[in-house]
Structure 1
Amino acid sequence: MGLEILSDLSEILPYPIPDFPLYAGIGKLANQNQYTVGCHFHPDFEFNLVLEGVMDYFINGENVHLGTGDGIFVNSQRLHYNYSRELTPCKYLVITVSPSLLPKELPAVEQLMASKTTPECSDYVLLKKDSNKPVLSLYPKILHEIQTGNPNVFLTLSYVLALCGAVVPMIQSDAHGDIHDAKWLSLYDMTKYIHTHYQSNVTLSDIAAAGKVCRSRCCQIFTRYMGQSPIDYLIFYRLKKSQELLLNTDCSIGEVASRCGFSGQSYYSQMFRRFFGVTPRMYRK
């Protein structure tokens, strides 16, 4: 899934069909690549189904574990990311649905959507394989239509409406989660700082200052919610940005390293192999 995360952690989603704001695709987490993307949010509803392995989700400060066959719905504008805490391979199906795809010209639909996407509502709905089979069976149907390249739009929309129709009523309108929890708000500010300044010489003190915490607390928060140190997250984000340059530009390996904040080509190549199992040159090929 080709994603672009902006400096404010919002995400631009790649809809494959013009004027039809729906994405469906297959994602993978590999041993050497613990996280897919950094923390981000978007107005779209997100649906995930684990096809192979296990996966964890961070959503507004809470971690949720998913086994093979389990699914999850992530509400609109929630800070989230998926990852492999156990560093084991995982294959999953992801669907994102823009609220604009739903028939808002119907007042009842507009009122329902407005009441189910406020900050006070549930951040997510866990869909267990044993108790939500009818809902989860809709995921591959939507994927199949999108993968044809020329989907039956009416049929696809019917699947999407059935999916949203089953899940949206499960959202609690008065979940009263602590949406201003200090820990994850600090994490938001610190990851946002990394995403904005990764090309510069970023230190642990800089990251901690962005979250208004001490360096020790900064490390504790990253370890708890991200499963790695703030410096490892910084390196990983730099490497992910470098992958974009490797695939989409003719920049030399040394120039890619420099543009992504690495002090030298040798260190960059060493980190790239450590995280992804191949060298930058091999990845580009």
Structure 2
Amino acid sequence: MVLGHFSIDQNLMELTEHLTVLLPIACYETTINQNIQGHIPLHWHDELQFVYMNKGEAIFHINGEGVELLEGNGLFINSGLLHMAEEKTKAASYICMNVAPSFVLSQELFSTFVYPYVQASNLPYVNIDGNKEWGKIILESILKINRLLKEKQPFFEIDISTQLAKAWKSFMMHGIPPAFNKTEASKNEKMKRMLDWIHHHYEEKVSLEDIASAGQLSRSECCRYFKRILKRSPFSYLEHYRIQKSLLLLQEEDANITEVGYRVGFNSTSYFIQKFRKEIQMTPLAYKKHKQKS
């Protein structure tokens, strides 16, 4: 089986191109364990995301909070939120619908009925109950939009717009009213700035002071942010990110294990191999051979 790779840039922004300017909405089905890392890594995107769990169970981590998603239910993830997913049951899969906020409703309605939700600090996510009528409407719309995008029948764009408006109306009527908390919004931005600094300097010698300064925090506050949002220390995340960057380098035909380790910031080959094995469940050499056969 050829495993997929979830593409994100150095800022953790998803790179997978599903949307176009003409039709800024996309649906795709994801089987979590088919990603090379065995999970969907931490990332974010500007689009609103609706998830329908069509098989098994999964745990989504959104801004550091774990959310269990059962088969037949759904989840809304707001714009710009750091999130990742891991399976709870084997071969768990979901249908994901990403949509640009500006496409949800017409331009005339956007500022009143969509923008407040995008800016809301009290709505990082919303559970969608598939057993309740309002939840069924949203989940059925996701499935219909997914089918419309695949079939591309005449005027399918209008049908998609109709289904999207129907789902959003149900979401607004039965969801949580939007509210804004400047402190929470600031915390999210500080976390992104610290991650951005790591992504630009991971090859170098990095200190806790460096990371904390990027978020304009003390070292202790920096550690608390990482523990709360990512459930790991700043240096644990740094090593995780270095391993992720090494995956691409190891796919180069003449890749040398020692050189790759040094290129991503590890000063010891044995330590690189140790951390790689723990993260990827195989050695760098085994991974390299696996990718050559793919």
Name the TM-score class by shorter chain.
0.7 to 0.9
Instruction: Indicate conservation of the 8 Å contact 2:58/2:86, yes or no.
Output: yes
2:213 pairs with 185, 209, 215, which one? Answer: 209
SS in structure 1 opposite 2:274? helix
- For 2:244 and 2:25, locate their aligned partners in 1 and report how far apart those are by CA, in whole Å: 24
Q: How does 1:230-249 map to 2 (within 5 A)?
A: 230-247=234-251, 249=252
Q: What does residue 66 of structure 1 align with?
A: 69
C-alpha displacement at 1:251, in angstroms? Answer: 5.2
Q: What does residue 57 of structure 1 align with?
A: 61
SS in structure 2 opposite 1:236? helix
Q: What does residue 113 of structure 1 align with?
A: 114
- CA offset digits 1:157-179 (Å, max 9, x no partner): 52454245323525655423455
Question: Please, what is the CA RMSD of the aligned residues?
Answer: 3.7
Instruction: Indicate conservation of the 8 Å contact 1:27/1:91, yes or no.
Output: yes
Instruction: Indicate conservation of the 8 Å contact 1:3/1:14, yes or no.
Output: no
C-alpha displacement at 1:81, in angstroms? Answer: 0.7
- For 2:290 and 2:88, locate their aligned partners in 1 and report how far apart those are by CA, in whole Å: 24
- For 1:182 and 1:18, locate their aligned partners in 2 and report how far apart those are by CA, in whole Å: 30
TM-score, with structure 1 as normaliser: 0.76
- For 2:207 and 2:230, locate their aligned partners in 1 and report how far apart those are by CA, in whole Å: 18
Distance change (3 Å), C-alpha of 1:136 and 1:182: same
Moved more, 14-23 or 45-54: 14-23
Say whether residues 1:262 and 2:263 are aligned partners. Answer: no
Identity percentage of aligned residues: 25
Distance change (3 Å), C-alpha of 1:215 and 1:18: closer
Q: How does 1:164-175 map to 2 (within 5 A)?
A: 164-167=165-168, 168-170=171-173, 174-175=178-179
Q: What does residue 98 of structure 1 align with?
A: 100
Say whether residues 1:81 and 2:83 are aligned partners. Answer: yes
C-alpha displacement at 1:211, in angstroms? Answer: 3.1
Instruction: Indicate conservation of the 8 Å contact 1:49/1:94, yes or no.
Output: yes
- For 1:87 and 1:269, locate their aligned partners in 2 and report how far apart those are by CA, in whole Å: 29
Q: What does residue 46 of structure 1 align with?
A: 49
- For 2:127 and 2:216, locate their aligned partners in 1 and report how far apart those are by CA, in whole Å: 32
Distance change (3 Å), C-alpha of 1:24 and 1:272: farther
Distance change (3 Å), C-alpha of 1:208 and 1:118: closer
**Structure 1 alignment gaps of length 5 or more:** none
Instruction: Indicate conservation of the 8 Å contact 1:14/1:23, yes or no.
Output: no
Instruction: Indicate conservation of the 8 Å contact 1:38/1:237, yes or no.
Output: no
TM-score, with structure 2 as normaliser: 0.74
Q: What does residue 131 of structure 2 align with?
A: 130
Higher-Rg structure is: 2
C-alpha displacement at 1:134, in angstroms? Answer: 2.9
C-alpha displacement at 1:90, in angstroms? Answer: 4.3
2:27 pairs with 24, 30, 35, which one? Answer: 24
Instruction: Indicate conservation of the 8 Å contact 2:212/2:222, yes or no.
Output: yes
C-alpha displacement at 1:47, in angstroms? Answer: 1.3
SS in structure 2 opposite 1:23? strand
Higher helix content, 1 or 2? 2
The one-letter code matched in structure 2 to 1:241 is K
Q: Larger relative contact order (C-alpha < 8 A, sep ≥ 6)?
A: 1
C-alpha displacement at 1:252, in angstroms? Answer: 0.6
- CA offset digits 1:36-90 (Å, max 9, x no partner): 2334332x1111223322212314x6554433333111233x3221234979874
Distance change (3 Å), C-alpha of 1:121 and 1:183: closer
C-alpha displacement at 1:129, in angstroms? Answer: 2.4
- For 1:246 and 1:184, locate their aligned partners in 2 and report how far apart those are by CA, in whole Å: 33
- For 1:101 and 1:120, locate their aligned partners in 2 and report how far apart those are by CA, in whole Å: 21
**Structure 2 alignment gaps of length 5 or more:** none
The one-letter code matched in structure 2 to 1:142 is I
C-alpha displacement at 1:235, in angstroms? Answer: 1.7
Instruction: Indicate conservation of the 8 Å contact 1:32/1:277, yes or no.
Output: no
- For 1:28 and 1:203, locate their aligned partners in 2 and report how far apart those are by CA, in whole Å: 37
Q: What does residue 158 of structure 1 align with?
A: 159
